[in-house]
């Protein structure tokens, strides 16, 4: 069965929307934040810990799983859910983002992309068909079309050609797609150009995907440009399909995205900053390596309901991080993911109550004034 | 309250004994294996995961906690139990083992040991009184006397002088000990010399400690010598106090120790080998990095009741280890610790049933013939 998006309501003053996505692995609420499990594991965490923080969909990376352990092994294990013991919905990316960061521009052709493996330097070739074939075998619930993530800034000519090629790749991927239990999303590109975003959105929608992603953001552009990229694309996307803003996990960006009608977000940020001792708080980010937390026996946040905040002090987590003990990363990953998931829970509540802007402004003013 | 050892029964054909240790944090069964949480965390694991594998006492390291975060911080946190959120009994070592491995022989004096911090090279001085003072502040349930772990081989003269000094240090430590809720163990040294082991055991027992440890094993000697060291010491230890063989975690050594009357074991082995992809099995150790496990979708051991074996395949854990994902170490640590704890559960059952030697021989012949 393909996923099914159900819109519950739109917020009174904004384009924010409350919805449900029905999947083969349960129904999840939107707007939502999806933890990233690059190599078939959300770094340091168990599936039970992800459930405990109320995570819905998790994301895994096609490029990484293609190289290690290989999609055939995941297939023979019974698919990604069984392989990694996660019985909630899983989304896989297309591999495009990683591949383009490893490829020379001259190795991008109409057919696909030649690049070097980050593991052993081996020369590899990824095409739209191959990306879909790998994702079919991984058996995720949602697969992504293979696209080029246009760098920022990019000249108009390059952006146009790339956007047109991404559309041709989307068609090829859709034709290659064989897994009846897997949904496929199209990706809107177009760089920073409103007319290209419009063209890309309209043409991609014509191909009738199960959902649409806004790609090519968070690639170095300023925030204003990023929000404009969302605006320029989202108005051409259908109401009855989910909209996904890829690679976005900053709390303020999530709030801005939701206001513009985005339903799904993902980012490695919460687990990556955890490894460096950083924690989200409602009063802004803090770094537990800071000496002022040495004897701070209070939790990261008194009001947080996560396992880390219920049982451990800043002083203890600081000790673990300074002593390079993995359990410290684990506690911070739990907290940071819970922070973003709780943010989306509060967002959903405010959409329900039709006071989204008030909620958003309160959150941001608190978050920016530590 | 100090701990209290209660002997339940001796086994028919051996010196193996079934017992209980009553502590302020619950009663634990002996013989037992104690997981090591060097830096106030059993690497990669939560306290709940330790409970789930039925761990009793866990061990933590005085040297490491002295340096980081410092015993005063642990003290102000409310002690080690509260600091690390572990409500089972905790044993701390004396720091001696680490300090001697970092010190020049010429820097060992009657007063104590000068050595360099492994973190920043700072010159530090540890004495029997200081070791006890630190442990008092850590507030573990069982503290260890500061001793010199004699290297192997050692000439008789050195071993004699060191053993005599260890006894003087034990006295000084006992006098310095102030924590009424903490028990203190004496340590039998004597190297490979039967008469020194006898002298050390008898003199240490005269000081009347809450338990006794057999030290200076697992330092490079062959197995026969190690077992003889145990025999030479244990016959002079009282029946009504627990006996602890420090640093031993090889399954066969545990079995040999129990046969000789040992009640307590600890070792970093199960978590250390986990980090390199090794797993204990009833048919011997296996290394999951081995290519033959690439498509092995069965658990490490079908008969194992641990979380890793209930939910994950060798192929998945292999993938995590090869991809350097911490969750792989976590799963292998759970399995390896559970393996040793289950071994002690089976040992206790066989003592109860008076068929220890049969159990031991069956286990060893299976373990050695993979």
Q: Count of CB contacts below 8 A, A vs B? A: 100
Residue A235's Cβ-side half-sphere holds a number of Cα atoms within 13 Å equal to 11
Instruction: Using alpha carbons, list the distances in angstroms from residue A201 to A30, A97, A198, B71.
Output: 21, 19, 5, 61
Q: Structure tokens of A88?
A: 């909630």
Which of B59, B137, B61 is closest to B94 using CA atoms?
B61
User: Quick one: average pLDDT of A130-152?
Assistant: 97
Across the interface, which of B41, B76, B294 has its CB nearest the CB of A325?
Answer: B41
Please give the pLDDT value at position B370.
57
Percent of chain B exceeding pLDDT 90 equals 96
Please give the average per-residue pLDDT across A303-322, as a whole number.
98
A326/B44 CB distance under 8 A: yes
Q: In this predicted model, what pLDDT tens digit does every residue of A244-294 receive, in sequence order? A: 999 999 999 999 999 999 999 999 999 999 999 999 999 999 999 999 999
The answer to whether residue B266 is catalytic is yes
Residues in chain A: 370
Q: Is B76 exposed, middle or buried (0-12, 13-18, 19+ CB in 10 A)?
A: middle
pLDDT exceeds cutoff 60 at A96: yes
Mean model confidence pLDDT for chain B: 97
Q: Please, what is the end-to-end C-alpha distance for chain B in angstroms? A: 46
- Assess whether pLDDT exceeds 70 at residue B245: yes
**Interval B17-67: pLDDT, tens:** 999 999 999 999 999 999 999 999 999 999 999 999 999 999 999 999 999
| Residue closest to A91 by CA, chosen among A183, A175, A194, A222 | A183
Instruction: From the candidates B75, B87, B93, B231, give the one annotated as an active-site residue.
Output: B93
Mean pLDDT of chain A: 97
A41 and B327 in contact by Cβ < 8 A?
A: yes
pLDDT above 70: residue B241: yes
For residues A75-85, give the mean pLDDT: 98
Which pLDDT score, from 0 to 100, does residue A101 have? Answer: 87
- pLDDT at position B246 is 96
CB-CB neighbors (< 8 A) of A39 in chain B: 319-320, 323, 325
Q: What is the pLDDT of residue A255?
A: 98
For residue A297, the chain B residues in CB contact (below 8 A) are 76-78
Residue of B nearest to A291 (CA): B69
**Residue B101: its pLDDT value, please?**
87
Residue A370 has pLDDT above 80, yes or no: no
Cβ-based contacts of B318 with chain A (< 8 Å): 69
Closest-CA distance, B313 to chain A, in angstroms, reads 8
Q: Give the pLDDT confidence score for residue A304 in this predicted structure.
A: 98
> How much is the pLDDT for A161?
97
Of B77, B84, B297, the CB nearest to A77: B297
Average of pLDDT values for B304-323?
98
Q: Grade residue A52 by pLDDT with cuts at 50, 70 and 90.
A: very high
Complex ipTM, two decimals? Answer: 0.97
Provide the pLDDT for residue B105. 85
pLDDT at B217: 93
pLDDT at B264 over 80: yes
Strands B123-126 and B113-116: antiparallel
Q: Which residues contact B306 (CB under 8 A, 6 or more apart)?
A: B53, B334, B335, B338, B339
Residue A339 is predicted with a pLDDT of: 98
Residues A313-366 pLDDT 10s: 999 999 999 999 999 999 999 999 999 999 999 999 999 999 999 999 999 999
- pLDDT tens readout for residues B191-223: 999 999 999 999 999 999 999 999 999 999 999
């Amino acid at each position: 069965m393909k996923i099914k998006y159900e819109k519950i309501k739109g917020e009174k003053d904004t384009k924010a929307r409350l919805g449900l996505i029905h999947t083969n692995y349960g129904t999840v609420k939107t707007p939502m934040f999806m933890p990233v499990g690059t190599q078939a594991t959300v770094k340091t965490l168990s599936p039970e810990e992800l459930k405990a923080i109320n995570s819905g969909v998790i994301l895994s990376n096609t490029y990484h799983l293609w190289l290690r352990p290989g999609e055939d092994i995941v297939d023979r294990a019974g698919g990604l859910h069984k392989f990694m013991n996660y019985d909630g919905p899983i989304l896989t990316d297309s591999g495009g983002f990683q591949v383009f960061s490893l490829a020379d521009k001259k190795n991008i052709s109409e057919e696909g992309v030649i690049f070097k493996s980050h593991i052993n330097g081996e020369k590899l070739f990824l095409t739209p068909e191959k990306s879909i074939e790998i994702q079919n075998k991984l058996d995720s619930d949602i697969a992504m079309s293979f696209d080029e993530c246009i760098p920022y800034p990019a000249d108009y000519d390059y952006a146009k050609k790339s956007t047109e090629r991404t559309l041709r790749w989307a068609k090829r991927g859709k034709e290659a797609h064989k897994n009846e239990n897997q949904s496929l999303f199209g990706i809107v590109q177009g760089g920073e150009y409103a007319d290209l975003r419009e063209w890309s959105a309209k043409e991609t929608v014509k191909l009738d995907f199960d959902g649409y992603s806004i790609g090519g953001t968070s690639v170095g552009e300023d925030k204003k440009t990023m929000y404009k990229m969302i605006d320029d694309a989202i108005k051409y996307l259908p109401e009855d399909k989910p909209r996904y803003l890829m690679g976005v996990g900053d709390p303020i960006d999530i709030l801005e995205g939701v206001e513009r009608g985005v339903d799904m977000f993902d980012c490695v940020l919460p687990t990556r900053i955890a490894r460096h001792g950083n924690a989200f708080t409602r009063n802004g980010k803090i770094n537990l390596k800071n000496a002022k937390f040495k004897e701070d026996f209070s939790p990261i946040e008194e009001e947080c309901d996560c396992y880390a905040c219920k049982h451990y002090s800043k002083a203890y987590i600081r000790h673990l991080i300074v002593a390079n003990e993995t359990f410290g990363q684990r506690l911070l990953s739990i907290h940071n993911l819970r922070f973003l998931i709780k943010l989306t829970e509060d967002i959903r509540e405010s959409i329900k109550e039709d006071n989204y802007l008030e909620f958003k402004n309160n959150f941001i003013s608190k978050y920016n004034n530590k």
